[in-house]
Structure 1
Amino acid sequence: MTLYHLLLVAIIQGITEFLPVSSSGHLILLPNLTGLADQGQVIDVAVHVGTLFAVILYFWRDVRLAVMGLPKLFRGNLDDAGAKLAFLLIVGTIPVILFGLFLKVTGLDDAMRGITVIGWTMLIFGLVLYWADQRGATTKVASDWSLKDAITMGIWQAVALIPGTSRSGITITAARSLGYTREDGAKLAMLMSIPTIIASGTLLGLEVASEANTALARDGAIAAFFAFVAAMLALTLMMRLLKSVSFTPYVIYRVILGVILIGIGYSA
């Protein structure tokens, strides 16, 4: 792959992974709308690794708390804050793993990669985000996260496997509908992305391990680095803006893009 193509994929993935606009949808659209070759699963894994490191670094204090709580969790001690956080993150990841395996076995994951599907999910779930953000209460913070809320957000997160939905967008929508503040809802959504990205990255990594070669490894390293940088910038900007700005700008973007894609899809 050319450096330009790698940078394009990395920047798109890095910016859109944590913004509620769907990274998978944008990566699918890239070859469809530009004529560029599909970047392939090796590069997909690499850019996911880059964004994974970004979210771990940004929320390092919470990640460290959860990791340190794992031994206590394995001993059945859920009274510890770290053990509780680790437990809820694991519970919240189970639905997306099960639904992902179902889509993979049935072949539905490939069947849903069309422009029309992405257009409708962009539009519909953008409007759902707007509704939840405007109507949702702001009475809960991250420390209020419960088993019931983790399961609810986990089920919503599984829906994000439909391209164009947005993993961060749908989990933020769930958090806002449950009454979490914008900042804390986004924080929980970002923390939930860590085990999800690890799970999906591991699955893709196993699939493409046999394809590994020096050139692909070099391209992957470049893509991962720039995805990391773009993700850190996007994540930092979004979390700061949420102190004073709602999710409406992202909704407007989703609605406009959704309408355009639906028009392209039905006119093709």
Structure 2
Amino acid sequence: MSTVEVIILAIIQGLTEFLPISSSAHLILPSAVFGWQDQGIVFDVAVHVGTLLAVMLYFRHDIGQLTLGWVHSLSGKHSMESKLAWWVILATIPAGLAGLLAAKADVVDTLLRSPWIIAFTTIVFGFALWWADATAKQQQSMDTLSWKQALFIGVAQALSIVPGTSRSGITMTAAMLIGLDKVSAARFSFLLSIPIIVLSGGYQASKLLSEPERFDVTGIALGMGLSFICALVCIHFFLKIISRMGMFPFVVYRLLLGVGLIIFLGWFAG
């Protein structure tokens, strides 16, 4: 990868990982549009580590409380924090299983990375995000989640194995549909991203151990650093934007992206 490709892809990953617009779609599109080679497993792991460090730093206080509450719950001392920690674990299981099955069947790389599929899912789940934002009764805080609601969000998260769906987008959509307010939906989605990024990054890292490859240390460090900075800034401003404007700007972006991609693909297909 050239330095320009590293910079562009790292910025894309950092800015889109936690926005409801699909980071996987944005990472696939440059290769489809510009003919770039696939960035490879090493780079994917590096930029995901960068975004993981960003969300853990931003929510370090919440993570500390949830971890402490979870540890106390093992000895029978339950609290609001311990309950929420267990709900995060519960909501991670469906996506973890879906990701494992998809990886074993190799359906994502062989069947689902098509730009046409990305265009379709970008539009469809953009409308779903708009529907949830416009019609759902968003009165519930994250602290009042039940296990059934957490599981519902987790099942929705499993759909994010399809590029263009957006992990953060589908989890926020599901959270708003069951009554969470916008900020609580976003915060739960961010917390839910931590174990799923750890699992997916760990799986990719295990593939590296079994299939070692040479890589550019400087490029990897640059990608990780840029994705970390961009993700940290993105989380901060995203929470401010949705508290004032809701999800509508991201719905508009998704629809424009999907339609633009269809026009682009149709132009070249013709």
Task: Give the structure-1-normalised TM-score.
Answer: 0.95
* Structure 2 runs not aligned, ≥5 long: none
The residue aligned with 1:226 is: 226
Contact 1:49 1:224 in 2 (8 A): yes
Contact 1:52 1:197 in 2 (8 A): yes
The residue aligned with 2:242 is: 242
Contact 1:73 1:87 in 2 (8 A): no
- In 2, the alpha carbon distance for the partners of 1:148 and 1:265 equals 41
Q: Greater shift after overlay, 82-91 or 131-140? A: 82-91
**Equivalences for residues 3-152 of structure 1 within 5 A:** 3-77=3-77, 79-110=78-109, 111-152=111-152
Contact 1:129 1:251 in 2 (8 A): yes
How far is 1:80 from its partner?
2.1
Q: Residues 41-94 of structure 1: CA distance to partner in whole angstroms, max 9, x if unpaired?
A: 1100100000001111111111111222232233354x2233222211110000
Task: State the AA in 2 paired with 1:31.
Answer: S
How far is 1:216 from its partner?
3.0
- In 2, the alpha carbon distance for the partners of 1:73 and 1:207 equals 34
- In 1, the alpha carbon distance for the partners of 2:79 and 2:176 equals 26
The residue aligned with 1:257 is: 257
- In 2, the alpha carbon distance for the partners of 1:95 and 1:217 equals 34
Task: State the AA in 1 paired with 2:57.
Answer: L
Structure 1 residue 205 corresponds to structure 2 residue 213: no
- In 1, the alpha carbon distance for the partners of 2:266 and 2:68 equals 51
- In 1, the alpha carbon distance for the partners of 2:122 and 2:195 equals 24
RMSD: 1.4
* C-alpha spacing 1:266/1:107, structure 2 compared with 1 (3 Å): farther
Aligned positions, number: 266
How far is 1:4 from its partner?
1.3
Q: Greater shift after overlay, 52-61 or 125-134? A: 52-61
- In 2, the alpha carbon distance for the partners of 1:171 and 1:196 equals 12
Task: State the AA in 2 paired with 1:40.
Answer: G
Structure 1 vs Structure 2: percent identity of aligned residues? 38
Give the 3-state SS of the residue equivalent to 2:87 in structure 1: helix
- In 2, the alpha carbon distance for the partners of 1:216 and 1:64 equals 34
Q: Residues 175-207 of structure 1: CA distance to partner in whole angstroms, max 9, x if unpaired?
A: 110111111111111111111111111001111
Give the 3-state SS of the residue equivalent to 1:51 in structure 2: helix
Contact 1:130 1:251 in 2 (8 A): yes
Give the 3-state SS of the residue equivalent to 1:179 in structure 2: coil
Give the 3-state SS of the residue equivalent to 2:161 in structure 1: coil
- In 2, the alpha carbon distance for the partners of 1:203 and 1:76 equals 32
Task: State the AA in 1 paired with 2:92.
Answer: T
Task: Give the structure-2-normalised TM-score.
Answer: 0.94
Give the 3-state SS of the residue equivalent to 1:139 in structure 2: coil
Task: State the AA in 2 paired with 1:233.
Answer: V
* Structure 1 runs not aligned, ≥5 long: none
* C-alpha spacing 1:61/1:249, structure 2 compared with 1 (3 Å): same
Task: State the AA in 2 paired with 1:197.
Answer: I
